[in-house]
Amino acid sequence: MAHTVRTKSMRLAIATTLVATAAAQNGTYSTDSIRWAPCPAEVAAAPVVCGELLVPLDYTNDRSNETLTLQLAKVPAITQPSRGSVLMNFGGPGNDGRTMLGQYAPFLPLGSGGEFDLIAIDPRGTGNTIPFSCYQNETLRRAGQATVRQERANSSDATPGRLWAEAQVLANDCGNALANTTGSLVGTAFVARDFMKVVDALGEDGLIRYWGFSYGSYLGSTIAAMFPDRIDRMVLDGIVNIHEWQAGLTVEAVIDYDKTFKGFLDACVAHPDNCALARGSSNGSGNRTAGALEASLYDLLDRIKHAPFAVGSRIIDYTALQNLINAGLRSPPTWPELAEILDAILDGPDLSRLASLLQNSALLNVWSPGNEAYPGIRCGDQKFRTTDPEALAPYNAARNALSRLGGDEGLATAMQCARWPMAARERYEGDFRVRTRHPILLIGNYADPVTPLASAKNASAGFEGERGAGAQGVWARLHRAVVDLHDHGRSQVPHVRRAACAGHELRGRPAGVRAASWERVDAGGGCPSQAIHFLRGAVKVSVACLNAARSAVH
Ligand SMILES: *[C@@H]1O[C@H](CO)[C@@H](O)[C@H](O)[C@H]1NC(C)=O
Ligand SMILES: *[C@@H]1O[C@H](CO)[C@@H](O)[C@H](O)[C@H]1NC(C)=O
Ligand SMILES: *[C@@H]1O[C@H](CO)[C@@H](O)[C@H](O)[C@H]1NC(C)=O
Ligand SMILES: *[C@@H]1O[C@H](CO)[C@@H](O)[C@H](O)[C@H]1NC(C)=O
Ligand SMILES: *[C@@H]1O[C@H](CO)[C@@H](O)[C@H](O)[C@H]1NC(C)=O
Ligand SMILES: *[C@@H]1O[C@H](CO)[C@@H](O)[C@H](O)[C@H]1NC(C)=O
Ligand SMILES: *[C@@H]1O[C@H](CO)[C@@H](O)[C@H](O)[C@H]1NC(C)=O
Ligand SMILES: *[C@@H]1O[C@H](CO)[C@@H](O)[C@H](O)[C@H]1NC(C)=O
């Protein structure tokens, strides 16, 4: 088998916080059954059901009988009997599985043809599964967050130094709160083993069917690399650079960031009826061009560093503006809203208009798992550590060279991980060059600000033992998967039907936005790409994979 797994010291003691968790779950370790029952109301409504399964707490310690109760949720197949189960992961890391499956339940079964049970697991660190929390309560968390502000690196020349100090604060808070132990148990390799325990307990064919988005592509790649013989069907969509993720310092992520921003502006200018920014609401500045808009927005970003302003009790500064743009680029249905907000800022700013736009804006909810699970999982997984902030200079320069707009986005996380006091007890340390039992379906998009096509191509080079497959690798593989679906109607890839395009809307659709509909990409290119009809442009969001897969099979 073409992988190596590093096993960390088995002598690490289980510290107090964990004993508390484990004590409540002490029982005979058993993987033979999952008990399904109605979900708690706050998790999901029928038809979703919830289940539990005991798994080993620490896979590296076979003398321990301590267990962990994995929590699962299932959307039963519409057509019974089910043809099997598809295990899902919604990314993050830090997103739970159960509530997200609950949210997506109205769409996903259609998206998978309704023939499979769809199962999500709360990965370690999320939900109630060893929740990764460095603070005893929300008051303390808010105090911590007031210190660890995570400003964008370019907000001032003093910011990188401050971020470095903040990273140590987070390391101190988390290291002390968790006695460095929880952080050793939430790594992706353990989660991969948990997923296989679920496969075992399901008692189907012993093979995994898996559908993962974003970070779920790293989890899926890890499962594939650790258990290549047990892969039935695997769909990875919105793929991170798995090698960079493994080592730390993810540079490639931003390679299409500016292109996505440009796509947003082009789409805006092409559809002024649905894009305030193109119309120009004031100053007689109507009929702006994309190039002029781009220039004025970069100019605004520069000016706002020294001239932040207040909207009610909120400050719009460089970081806030960058975060708004970042959130918008990830979610094309919010583009008209993003355009309104940017227009209102350029327009003076128009404070009363901004106040009303920002009041309930989803764009303000910068993604966050609600606790510290993101660094807890991500930083524990990666190898890179340093005590010298200068060691991050090449990373910072490389990101800025790839993206003018997004290059300074990652420094806060990079520094947190560099100073992180914990490490996963097990990490997959191989090279991801494996031949899986069945080829993996890898999906990338032409303009994705976080999980670019280049990273999908990169992953495709290793799987199946192909070497240097280059650009055609993804397309070729995709094509084969499509052919496979057509030729073998009973394929178990979750194939996505038209109704699934509504999946895009499950994130909420701002008033005035026409229903999302999707363009199919010409089959010549092979790779599906999606564009929202009302703003034609190359786009990608994590949910767009539904549509990508749909395009792939119809
Ligand atoms: C589990 O139960 C056994 C037997 O009751 C006990 O000795 C052990 O300390 C328990 N483990 C934990 C973590 O509570
Ligand atoms: C778990 O291990 C402890 C110590 O090794 C032992 O005392 C206990 O009986 C075991 N519990 C179970 C349920 O096997
Ligand atoms: C939060 O935890 C701290 C430390 O235990 C405690 O002093 C404080 O009262 C708690 N605050 C709330 C609102 O529970
Ligand atoms: C956690 O690990 C760090 C670095 O290894 C160490 O400095 C710190 O004392 C540890 N914290 C605890 C509570 O063990
Ligand atoms: C913008 O273009 C439209 C259609 O070409 C035209 O009717 C309108 O007068 C223009 N507005 C401005 C401010 O130039
Ligand atoms: C509109 O006018 C205001 C006030 O004169 C000015 O500050 C702002 O930059 C102008 N906006 C654009 C897009 O020209
Ligand atoms: C951030 O700073 C780097 C240089 O350190 C520069 O290349 C990049 O364009 C800047 N980006 C923004 C949005 O200011
Ligand atoms: C994939 O990305 C890693 C990290 O950047 C790089 O070292 C490797 O050469 C890439 N592989 C291919 C085939 O591009």
Q: What is the pLDDT of residue 310?
A: 98
Residue 279 lies in a domain: no
Q: What is the pLDDT of residues 189-211, one digit of tens each?
A: 999 999 999 999 999 999 998 88
Q: Are residues 538 and 444 in the same domain?
A: no
Q: Are residues 507 and 437 in the same domain?
A: no
Cα 375 to ligand 8 centroid, rounded to whole Å: 23
pLDDT for 370 beyond 50: yes
Distance (Å, whole) CA 108 – CA 49 = 15
Phi first, then psi: what are they for 518, rounded to 5°?
-125, 145
pLDDT above 90 as % of the chain: 49
Q: What is the pLDDT of residue 306?
A: 97
Distance (Å, whole) CA 63 – CA 194 = 18
Contact between 442 and 236 under an 8 Å Cβ cutoff? The reply is yes
User: What separation in angstroms does the CA of 107 have from each of 82, 100, 504?
Assistant: 17, 12, 9
Contact between 298 and 345 under an 8 Å Cβ cutoff? The reply is no
Q: Are residues 107 and 192 in the same domain?
A: yes
Distance (Å, whole) CA 139 – CA 137 = 5
Residue 215 lies in a domain: yes
Q: What is the pLDDT of residue 436?
A: 85
Question: To the nearest whole number, what is the mean pLDDT of the chain?
Answer: 76
Q: What is the pLDDT of residue 444?
A: 66
Q: What is the pLDDT of residues 38-69, one digit of tens each?
A: 999 999 998 999 999 999 999 999 899 999 99
Q: What is the pLDDT of residues 272-324, one digit of tens each?
A: 777 888 887 555 556 678 898 999 999 999 999 999 999 999 999 999 999 99
Q: What is the pLDDT of residue 438?
A: 73
Secondary structure (DSSP) of 234-260: EEEES---HHHHHHS---GGGTTHHHH
Phi first, then psi: what are they for 353, rounded to 5°?
-65, -45
- Examine the fold and report which residue of 453, 479, 505 is the final residue of a domain before the chain moves on: 479
List 56's β-bridge partners, or say none: 67
Q: What is the pLDDT of residues 400-409, one digit of tens each?
A: 999 999 999 9
Ligand 1 atom with the shortest distance to the CA of 14:
13
Distance (Å, whole) CA 526 – CA 457 = 13
| CB of 203 sitting under 6 A from ligand 5 | no
Q: Are residues 456 and 529 in the same domain?
A: no
Give Cα 326 distance to the centre of its chain. 14
Q: What is the pLDDT of residue 281?
A: 59
Secondary structure (DSSP) of 158-169: THHHHHHHHHHH
Q: Are residues 451 and 505 in the same domain?
A: no
pLDDT for 250 beyond 60: yes
What is the maximal distance between C-alpha atoms in the chain?
A: 75
Q: Are residues 548 and 437 in the same domain?
A: no
Q: For 105-134, what is the mean pLDDT?
A: 81
Distance (Å, whole) CA 121 – CA 50 = 10
Distance (Å, whole) CA 363 – CA 337 = 8
Q: For 216-222, what is the mean pLDDT?
A: 96
| CB of 287 sitting under 6 A from ligand 5 | yes
- Name every residue whose Cβ is closer than 8 Å to that of residue 129 and which is 6 or more positions away in sequence: 68, 69, 70, 71, 122, 123
Ligand 6 atom with the shortest distance to the CA of 296:
13
Distance (Å, whole) CA 56 – CA 64 = 8
pLDDT for 533 beyond 70: no
Ligand 3 mutation pick, 17, 135, 140, max ligand atoms within 8 A of CB:
140
Q: What is the pLDDT of residue 195?
A: 98
Q: What is the pLDDT of residue 327?
A: 87
- Name every residue whose Cβ is closer than 8 Å to that of residue 306 and which is 6 or more positions away in sequence: none
- Examine the fold and report which residue of 448, 479, 510 is the final residue of a domain before the chain moves on: 479
Q: What is the pLDDT of residue 28?
A: 38
Q: Are residues 455 and 546 in the same domain?
A: no
pLDDT for 349 beyond 90: yes
Residue 117 sits in a domain whose CATH number is 3.40.50
Ligand 2 atom with the shortest distance to the CA of 26:
13
Q: Are residues 43 and 88 in the same domain?
A: yes
Residue 331 lies in a domain: no
Cα 168 to ligand 4 centroid, rounded to whole Å: 12
Q: Which of 132-157 are b and which e, b meaning 16 or more Cβ less than 10 Å from the residue's Cβ?
A: bbbbeeeeebeebeeebebbbbbbbe
Q: Name which residue leads in pLDDT, 385 or 440.
A: 385
Residue 340 lies in a domain: no
Residue 126 lies in a domain: yes
Contact between 17 and 136 under an 8 Å Cβ cutoff? The reply is no
Q: Are residues 114 and 76 in the same domain?
A: yes
Q: What is the pLDDT of residue 138?
A: 93
Distance (Å, whole) CA 30 – CA 21 = 18
How many residues are listed for the chain in this entry? 554
Q: Which of 141-145, 370-374, 537-541 has the lowest mean pLDDT?
A: 537-541
Give Cα 540 distance to the centre of its chain. 12
Task: Check: pTM over 0.85? Answer yes or no.
Answer: no
Residue 269 lies in a domain: no
The H or E element spanning position 326 is: helix 318-329
Query: Coil, helix or strand for 14?
Result: coil
Cα 405 to ligand 5 centroid, rounded to whole Å: 30
> Nearest C-alpha to atom 5 of ligand 6 is from which residue?
348
Q: Are residues 204 and 112 in the same domain?
A: yes
User: What separation in angstroms does the CA of 365 have from each of 125, 368, 370, 487?
Assistant: 21, 8, 11, 44
Secondary structure (DSSP) of 493-516: S----GGGGGGGGGG---TTPPPP
Cα 254 to ligand 2 centroid, rounded to whole Å: 49
Domain residues for the domain of 525 are 497-553
Q: Are residues 123 and 223 in the same domain?
A: yes
Q: Are residues 466 and 503 in the same domain?
A: no
Residue 405 lies in a domain: no
Residue 145 lies in a domain: no
Cα 485 to ligand 5 centroid, rounded to whole Å: 49
Nearest ligand to residue 156 Cα: 7
pLDDT band at 531 (very low <50, low <70, confident <90, very high): very low
Q: Look at residues 237, 218, 223 and name the one whose alpha carbon lies nearest to residue 194.
A: 223
pLDDT for 366 beyond 90: no
Contact between 315 and 515 under an 8 Å Cβ cutoff? The reply is no
Distance (Å, whole) CA 365 – CA 323 = 9
Q: How many domains does the chain fold into?
A: 2
